[in-house]
Amino acid sequence: MSVVSKDIKVNKISESRIDEVDMANIQFGKNYSDHMLVAYYENGAWQQPQIMPYNNLSLSPATTFMHYGQAIFEGIKAYKTADGEPIIFRPRDNWKRMNRSAERMAMPHITEEIFIDGLRELVNLDRNWIPTSEDTSLYIRPFMLAIDEFIGVRPAEKFMFIIITSPAGPYYNKPVSIYVQDQYVRAFPGGIGFTKAAGNYGMSMYPTMKIKEMGYDQILWTDGFEHKYVQEIGTMNVFFVIGDTVVTPPITEDTILAGVTRDSVITLLKEKGITVEERPITIGELQTASHEGRLKEAFGTGTAASIAPIYALTYHDDKMLLPPIETWDVANWLKQELADIRYGRKADTHNWMVTV
Ligand code: COI
């Protein structure tokens, strides 16, 4: 797989749409910046990528991904430092993860030149779209689609890679209430739970709609064999503080997404000397810890949500309330620490931040 030319063609907008956007009240996922990057894969190679004005796509109704879901995506965030310089959080980790998703979904690897250089060029061009107030960022959405005009079922031969960016506020505005799911299943060993395949999110819509009707915000998925071991929450990895130990399910069985925020959280906690265990966690262990007053904190982690505190976990008729969030040590510290690194207020000792 090679790039015909690693240069990126740039076709700029004639007039920015930025004045149409209320940056002071920005929400998640509603507005899109002036430009997007598009690259096509055909005849076994990625063609020259282009940055062009953000626009609708024109595709045949027979396009593969529309029927069979051969589609994957990533989520990344860019911030601005106090001196107004754009910086992107760990994009190479997302690039590598996209290629793991691509492999499992029989899609081509995307090159570093197109993903990373393209992303940097795009963010540089639309740097005015990066909001600067606390809890805001430029959310970056790279995605790949199978675009053969063919409705037989086989891996496609043509693909499209696109990056769009979106000025974004927080994904969750308040702590979340979680329902422990033991009817529907998100992932099995050998499945696609570890990928960011579109279908992983599509399949969650119905169970999520059902629990929202019951007044909960998100699902805590459990394993499909016994509904006993916890996996992920909605669109996030999950962490619990039990006594003085932070626990999170392991990513060893291909059922759980290897979150970049998850990895950052584990790194920061270990450096602070806090014990972190990546191990199977049963819902019974959480119930016992909660009833004995040892379940101190619970939170989700993800690019969009960053650190999302959980105020209650419900399993059948057992509603486990967490202590008041203002009293939490771990999640509140992590949120601040990550924000300080991302907005360039604290030294980036891990080389996580990439300039444009
Ligand atoms: C992310 O956290 O970036 C995600 O991809 C989750 C979501 C918004 C689907």
Q: 234 C-alpha vs ligand 1 centroid, how far in Å? A: 10
Among 336, 346, 347, 306, which residue's Cα sits nearest to residue 139? 306
Q: 250 C-alpha vs ligand 1 centroid, how far in Å? A: 20
**Where residue 194 falls among pLDDT bands split at 50, 70, 90?**
very high
Q: Is 315 helix (H, G, I), strand (E, B) or coil?
A: strand
Q: Between 252 and 67, whose confidence is greater?
A: 67
Same domain, 255 and 228: yes
Residue nearest to atom 9 of ligand 1 (CA): 235
Domain count, the chain: 2
Per the structure, the complete domain to which residue 58 belongs is given by 2-169
pLDDT value at 1 more than 70: no
Residue nearest to atom 6 of ligand 1 (CA): 235
Query: What are the CB-based long-range contacts (under 8 Å, 24+) for 49-52?
Result: 49/3, 49/8, 49/9, 49/114, 49/118, 49/161, 50/8, 50/9, 50/10, 50/11, 51/8, 51/9, 51/10, 51/11, 51/12, 51/118, 51/121, 51/122, 51/125, 52/11
67 CB-near residues (< 8 Å, 6+ apart): 151
pLDDT for the residue 175:
96
Last residue of a domain, one of 169, 202, 219: 169
Nearest ligand 1 atom to the CA of 73 is 5
Residues within 6 Å of ligand 1 by CB: 75, 201, 235, 302-304
Last residue of a domain, one of 169, 194, 219: 169
pLDDT value at 252 more than 90: no
Q: 170 C-alpha vs ligand 1 centroid, how far in Å? A: 12
pLDDT value at 116 more than 70: yes
**What is d(CA 198, CA 185) in angstroms, rounded to the nearest whole number?**
16
175-183 mean pLDDT:
97
Q: Judge whether 196 lies within some domain.
A: yes
Q: CATH number, domain at 109?
A: 3.30.470.10
pLDDT for the residue 298:
98
151 CB-near residues (< 8 Å, 6+ apart): 62, 64, 67
Q: Judge whether 347 lies within some domain.
A: no
Same domain, 32 and 129: yes
First-to-last CA distance in the chain?
25
pLDDT value at 4 more than 80: no
Same domain, 129 and 230: no
Same domain, 129 and 6: yes
Residue nearest to atom 5 of ligand 1 (CA): 75
Q: pTM score, two decimals?
A: 0.95
Per-residue pLDDT of 155-167, as tens digits, reads 999 999 999 999 9
| pLDDT mean across residues, the chain | 96
**Where residue 6 falls among pLDDT bands split at 50, 70, 90?**
low
Q: Judge whether 282 lies within some domain.
A: yes
